[in-house]
A = this chain, B = another copy of it.
Amino acid sequence: MTRCATFADLGIDHVSVITTGPWTTEGVATLVEAADQVAAFDAVRQRKSSQTVSAPVEERAMSKVICDLSISADGYSAGRNQTEERPFGDDGGDGWGNKLHAWIFETPEENRAEVDQRAVPSAFIMGRNMFGPLRGEWDRKWTGWWGDKPPFHAPVFVLTHYPRDSQPMDGGTTFHFVTDGIEFALRQAREAAGDGDVSILGGATTINQYLAAGLIDELRLHIVPLTLGGGTRLFDGVPPLNLEQVESRAASSVTHVTYRLPRDTRRTS
């Protein structure tokens, strides 16, 4: 077996990895280490003198707008009549709101890749109804459903019609309140994310607005084996879309499907 050149052999001491993959900082470090071992990147060989190389990916340098959503087999992500006690609304008394997310909490090992992926984005956007049950003016303290240390660890832009000061939380999450609509919120989130991805968290009503505006690049659906028969539904009011299935994987009680939305994704209709 031939020993391959390492980056050091090639006189390279700094590598930028530009990838569309959902890499964490650790992931990138591992990738670079692997690349060093095998000198796998064409770019490395082609540009020996360069101090910066890029992975030879075709679609490059794009931070993505993704959406990661658990839905029922009939496409709902939440029921009707949300209250403070019931963030997912009517659940017929049998807790399907929790069942929709059981794959995350009850079988994390089996779904490790998908669970990890949810935390990768560098900024998040959510609708006000996902943030909380309050409507109208912010007339009492509410800092989300997630306690003092929300699981986002990044800026979260909350869509609302009512201005409010930013709300820093423990663990790196700050809630910013955006009153200028979905496109403005996305611009702010992109800016905050830098090279990172932006995740539209939900609910489905918010996601549908972004889908209809053609602003989502990737849809990661977790299809759970139950139906709800009512509530907020993914794709409602969204014009017909051509999707590209880029990944699909079954776990024991959920099917993960990732769709890419081509840039010009709307069909004639």
Selected from B221, B226, B249, the residue in CB contact (under 8 A) with A243 is B226
Selected from B94, B238, B252, the residue in CB contact (under 8 A) with A227 is B238
Selected from B223, B245, B255, the residue in CB contact (under 8 A) with A252 is B245
Instruction: Decide if B223 touches A227 in the complex (CB within 8 Å).
Output: no
The DSSP consensus for interface residues of chain A is: loop
In the complex the two chains form, what is the Cα distance from A182 to B21 in whole Å? 50
Selected from B96, B225, B248, the residue in CB contact (under 8 A) with A240 is B96
Interface residues on A, range: 35 or more
**Residues of chain B contacted by A226 (CB below 8 angstroms):** 240-243, 267
In the complex the two chains form, what is the Cα distance from A268 to B93 in whole Å? 7
In the complex the two chains form, what is the Cα distance from A90 to B255 in whole Å? 29
Interface locus among A6-14, A44-52, A228-236 = A228-236
Query: Quick one: copies of this chain in the complex?
Result: 2
Instruction: Decide if A235 touches B94 in the complex (CB within 8 Å).
Output: no
In angstroms, how far is the closest chain B Cβ from the Cβ of A140? 31
Instruction: Decide if B225 touches A229 in the complex (CB within 8 Å).
Output: no
**Residues of chain B contacted by A229 (CB below 8 angstroms):** 235, 238-240, 269
A73-98 near B? 1/0 per residue, CB < 8 Å:
11100000000000000101110100
Instruction: Decide if A225 touches B250 in the complex (CB within 8 Å).
Output: no
Selected from B96, B234, B245, B267, the residue in CB contact (under 8 A) with A250 is B245
The answer to the question of A116 belonging to the interface, with a C-beta cut-off of 8 Å to chain B, is no
Instruction: Name the CB-closest residue of B to A221.
Output: B73
Instruction: Decide if B75 touches A74 in the complex (CB within 8 Å).
Output: yes
